[in-house]
Amino acid sequence: MIIERFVTPELAQVAYAMGDESAGNIAVIDPRRDVGGYVEWADRRGLKIVAILETHVHADFVSGVLELAAVTGAPVYTSWLGNQTFEHVPVDDGWSLDVGSVRLTALHTPGHTPEHVSWQATDASEPGARPVLFSGDALFVGDVGRPDLLGAGQTDALVRDLYSTVTDVFMALPGETIVYPGHTAGSSCGKNIGSAPHTTIANEKAMNYAFKQGSEAGFAQAVMSGMPQPPTYYPVLKRVNTAGAVPLASLGDMNAATVIELEDQFASGAMMVDVRSAGEFSQGHIPGSIFVGVGQNFSTWMGWLAPYDHDVVFVANDAAQAGEALTMARRIGIDRVSGYHVGVEAWRESGRPLATLAVTSPDSLTAARGSETEPTVVDVRNDGEFEIGHIDGAMHHVLGRIARGEMPELDRDRPIVLTCASGYRSTVAASLMLANGFENVRKLTGGMSAWNERNAGDRPIAS
């Protein structure tokens, strides 16, 4: 059995190609929307994609099952409970498919979603080989899939389903079963997903908190305690993936915008997103633009912020960076990208003003504490991060609330210093606050990482 992982870092998402290499046939499990990487990998190895499998209707990224089916002609297999309206083969619990000598069996593993199936793989040509489980979003390294993404009305039932999945399905599997999950550390589909590429059922029985609960009530408390806010765009993508996404080829290319075109698009209601680095944004940005820098956190915060029913225009360093942002945006269904503008120099040279984001160093903040000009510190990290430790006296106002338009209630005449773990989220928050009329806003250089290093051994940290 051949198994290849395909990781999309900004989504912390993992797709798999697996099958019988000697027979030349493979299946792809949970592909993302841009499918070229899977096809190119298979072509290089002389393999044919003969099946496309899904574990569930995804909410955090646009599924690529239809894109891959169009390229390869392979059928799509997905849960019989998913209510998906595109052409597919519905599979229920115990249904199986042979890919060469490899048999894939669907195991109904609800809890993250009602329709979720995990795919168990065995290889008839390797009788002594350990069984494999592609667990999707039901089981992660050290965690389980969160059961609250379909809304409060379904959470209790899904918690019960998840408890049954853990106790009746996963606990019953052989301990040596190798588990390949659908996400790694950083995904919002769990609350504390480990970073290891795979695990075993035995390891999870020994280490995973969800396997250690002796009752359904204890399980519910353990799973839901400390659960972060779900991203606001998940219901949108749930609908997209139920109907099937439009083909990428139908969306067309993104064009460069002049200063006047950029200004006109912004005036017409387009959201201007600056995808450069946090440092570049701080040094100079177009007033009203929102910072979401290309990188590991891009998709998460674009999904929180971008209006799916309005245009988006990027400000980027060059066409390549804008193209990278476009690819990432389309992976989460943001298809209305009307163009991009290179840098801010042309804007400045046209006589239009640039805005800046002031920064405060840990030394400066420490010196200002207790003075008449002491700033209000606003920590935009998640609840769990804040509870572990924070600057004494800091206001806690998570970035997700600011992204929803819930601005912190502050004395705007006093300086405001925003902090997060390293500076990315505080820059996003600052850009939103500046766009909403705040003026005396700064960010803490290096975030809590720099603050903790500066104050190691004698730090004003509350916990």
* Cα-based distances in Å from 304 to 153, 213, 379, 401, 403: 22, 33, 18, 10, 6
**Cα distance between residue 89 and residue 79, in whole Å:** 8
189 is an active site residue? no
**Cα distance between residue 26 and residue 51, in whole Å:** 7
Q: 406: Cβ–Cβ under 8 A, 6 or more apart, which residues?
A: 397
Identity of the amino acid at 232? T
**Cα distance between residue 434 and residue 355, in whole Å:** 9
What stretch of H or E contains 122?
A: strand 117-123
**Cα distance between residue 243 and residue 240, in whole Å:** 5
Catalytic residue, from 420, 432, 434, 448: name it. Answer: 420
**Cα distance between residue 101 and residue 125, in whole Å:** 6
**Cα distance between residue 360 and residue 304, in whole Å:** 27
User: Tokens 């390229």 belong to which residue?
Assistant: 71
**Cα distance between residue 135 and residue 162, in whole Å:** 13
Q: Which are the catalytic amino acids?
A: 420
